[in-house]
């Protein structure tokens, strides 16, 4: 009897839903597709990091960067969440969120006003990065996440700066995206009302780079920055 050849295992293309990642409101807008989650994360660079401190919730805005299936956030070694993540065993329970607002949805009724958005929510245990090589790679990823190509065009942290900087690692395991697209959802009886309704699209726009006065004369804006 010949044995059967098993096909090679393929990486999962979606995150497994959990009780914390299935929304109770508008669950049809939720997605666990990794490609969508990565795209939403890669487009932004400011997240909100939530945790519990002394029995009360705290939410802090901070920069982040993605490397594969991991997110990195950084801060001072003296900050409370960074200290807590280093002291706690196995780490600091957190909830990290990223949101993009794509349009204002103006309806005829006040009740049906909304926004078009794309968001990601990550639950997990944040752990402090202690390996120096991973820490440096994480800091490069943070810089490049904001401005691709910038890490190679700046001085890396020296030993003193590295010691003063803490980095948290959060694995992408318990993750969901939520997206609202489309137009106005007015009630049929409101369609004849004389109020303007529709979408007001929103876009992120970069201004012209303003050089530092101390730059050497003739220093040009680097190509990766002009490309923004």
Per-residue pLDDT tens over the stretch 32-48 = 999 999 999 999 999 99
142 to 157, 161, 166, 167, 222: CA distances (angstroms): 13, 15, 13, 10, 19
pTM of the model: 0.87
Instruction: Over range 64-87, report the average pLDDT.
Output: 77
Can you give the pLDDT at residue 9? 44
Domain at 27-102+115-181, CATH class:
mainly beta
Task: Report phi then psi at 194, rounded to 5.
Answer: -85, 30
Distance separating alpha carbons of residues 84 and 127, to the nearest angstrom: 9
Three-state DSSP class for residue 104: strand
Residue 216 in tokens? 């050497």
Cβ neighbours of 190 (radius 10 Å)? 15
Please state, rounded to an integer, the average pLDDT across all residues of the chain. Answer: 89
- Burial track 1-23 (b if 16+ CB lie within 10 A, e otherwise): eeeeeeeeeeeeeebeeeeebee
Can you give the pLDDT at residue 213? 93
**Neighbour-count burial of 109, counting CB atoms closer than 10 A to its CB (0-12 exposed, 13-18 middle, 19+ buried):** middle
- pLDDT class of 82 with cuts at 50, 70, 90: low
Per-residue pLDDT tens over the stretch 88-128 = 567 899 999 999 999 999 999 999 999 999 999 999 999 99
Can you give the pLDDT at residue 89? 63
Per-residue pLDDT tens over the stretch 122-165 = 999 999 999 999 999 999 999 999 999 999 999 999 999 998 89
Residue ranges of domains in the chain = 27-102+115-181
Q: Please state whether beta strands 165-171 and 174-180 pair in parallel, antiparallel, or not at all (unpaired).
A: unpaired
Q: Which of 186, 183, 185 is nearest to 198 (CA)?
A: 183
Per-residue pLDDT tens over the stretch 173-191 = 999 999 999 999 999 999 9
Can you give the pLDDT at residue 77? 61
């Amino acid at each position: 009897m010949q044995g059967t050849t098993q096909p090679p295992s393929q990486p999962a293309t979606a995150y497994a839903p959990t009780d914390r990642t299935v929304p109770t409101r508008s669950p049809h807008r939720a997605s666990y597709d990794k490609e969508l989650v990565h795209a939403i994360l890669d487009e932004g660079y400011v997240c909100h990091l939530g945790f519990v401190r002394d029995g009360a919730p705290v939410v802090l805005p901070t920069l982040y960067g993605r490397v594969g299936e991991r997110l990195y956030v950084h801060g001072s070694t003296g900050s409370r969440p960074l200290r807590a993540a280093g002291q706690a065993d196995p780490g600091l329970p957190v909830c990290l969120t990223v949101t993009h607002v794509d349009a204002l949805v103006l309806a005829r009724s006040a009740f049906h006003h909304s926004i078009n958005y794309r968001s990601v929510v990550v639950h997990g245990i944040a752990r402090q990065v202690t390996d120096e090589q991973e820490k440096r790679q994480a800091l490069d990823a943070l810089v490049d996440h904001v401005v691709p190509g910038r890490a190679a065009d700046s001085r890396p942290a020296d030993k003193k700066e590295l010691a003063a900087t803490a980095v948290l690692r959060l694995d992408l395991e318990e993750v969901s995206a939520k997206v609202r697209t489309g137009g106005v959802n007015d009630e049929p009886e409101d369609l004849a009302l004389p109020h303007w309704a529709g979408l007001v699209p929103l876009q992120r726009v970069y201004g012209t780079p303003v050089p530092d006065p101390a730059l050497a004369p003739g220093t040009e804006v680097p190509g990766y920055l002009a490309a923004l």
